[in-house]
């Protein structure tokens, strides 16, 4: 599902058969009821065929595979054997987290502060040419905030924009209404946003 070498997710497409897309191509991420270990998410993604399709992503592929590289193996030139890179990549990620860097972050508008987050907290993404409207459910206050970020901010773990634009709007607690309001705002292009500093 997730390719650690390319940073792309693989999904089925009724037109092209199979497509490989970055996280920034996701449009809606919904946790499905039921399974908890691992949790399963229904993802609506913007396909290369020009349409939007649905797919399923396990929690491990959504949050952890980008840090551990999934099932990435390499030829160790010292031993001439095929070895897994997962342990080394996880140790590298743990080292960065211990040093205070977080793989993904966003600015929580109700709390007026930057917060660490995983992609499973993303609720909706609306892509422009160089910016993405990212609706995130804060793991601390459970409210939804919308940030305008670069594609790299979403697609590359441990790359966080130093400054992001924040939509100054309090979304309702009703999830469906929030998603509809967010998508309407993204489509209209009328964001009232101010730039906020994500650097600690």
Q: Does 191 score more than 60 pLDDT?
A: no
Q: Evaluate whether residue 29 is within a structural domain.
A: yes
Q: Is residue 139 part of a domain?
A: yes
Domain assignment of residue 85, yes or no? no
Q: What is the pLDDT of residues 122-181, one digit of tens each?
A: 999 988 788 899 999 999 999 999 999 999 999 999 999 988 999 887 776 555 666 666
Q: Show the domain range for 144.
A: 104-197
Q: Is the bond into 136 cis (omega within 30 degrees of 0)?
A: no
CA pair distance 196, 179, nearest whole angstrom: 23
Confidence bin at 190 (pLDDT 50/70/90)? low
Integer distance in angstroms from the first to the last C-alpha of the chain? 33
Asked whether residue 141 is assigned to any structural domain, the reply reads yes
Cα distances (Å, whole numbers) of residue 35 to 44, 113, 142: 19, 32, 21
pLDDT digits (tens, 9 = 90+) for 49-105: 999 999 999 999 999 888 876 667 778 888 888 887 777 778 888 898 899 889 999
Q: Is the distance from CB of 46 to CB of 25 less than 8 angstroms?
A: yes
Whether residues 122 and 169 share a domain: the answer is: yes
Check: pTM over 0.85? Answer yes or no.
no
Conformational region of residue 17, where left means phi above 0, alpha means psi within -120 to 50, and beta covers everything else: left
Last residue of a domain, one of 19, 41, 68: 68
pLDDT value, residue 104 = 94
Q: In this predicted model, which residue has the larger pLDDT, 197 or 48?
A: 48
Return the pLDDT at 59: 93
Which CATH number belongs to the domain containing residue 47 in this structure?
Answer: 2.40.50
Q: What is the pLDDT of residue 2?
A: 85
What is the rounded CA–CA span in Å between residue 115 and residue 111? 9
């Amino acid at each position: 599902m997730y390719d650690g070498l390319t940073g792309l997710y693989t999904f089925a497409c009724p037109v092209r058969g199979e497509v490989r897309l970055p996280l920034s191509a996701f449009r809606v991420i919904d946790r499905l009821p039921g399974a908890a270990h691992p949790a399963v998410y229904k993802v609506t993604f913007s396909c290369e065929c020009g349409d939007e399709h649905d797919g399923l992503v396990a929690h491990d592929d959504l949050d952890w595979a980008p840090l551990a590289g999934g099932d990435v193996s390499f030829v160790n030139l010292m031993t001439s054997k095929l070895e897994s890179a997962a342990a080394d990549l996880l140790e590298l990620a743990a080292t960065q987290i211990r040093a205070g860097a977080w793989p993904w972050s966003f600015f929580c508008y109700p709390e007026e502060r930057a917060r660490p987050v995983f992609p499973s907290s993303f609720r909706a993404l609306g892509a422009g040419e160089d910016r993405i409207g990212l609706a995130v459910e804060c793991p601390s206050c459970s409210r939804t905030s919308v940030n305008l970020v670069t594609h790299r901010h979403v697609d590359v773990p441990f790359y966080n924009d130093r400054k992001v634009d924040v939509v100054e709007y309090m979304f309702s607690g009703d999830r469906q209404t929030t998603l509809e309001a967010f998508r309407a705002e993204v489509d209209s292009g009328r964001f009232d946003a101010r730039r906020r500093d994500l650097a600690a």
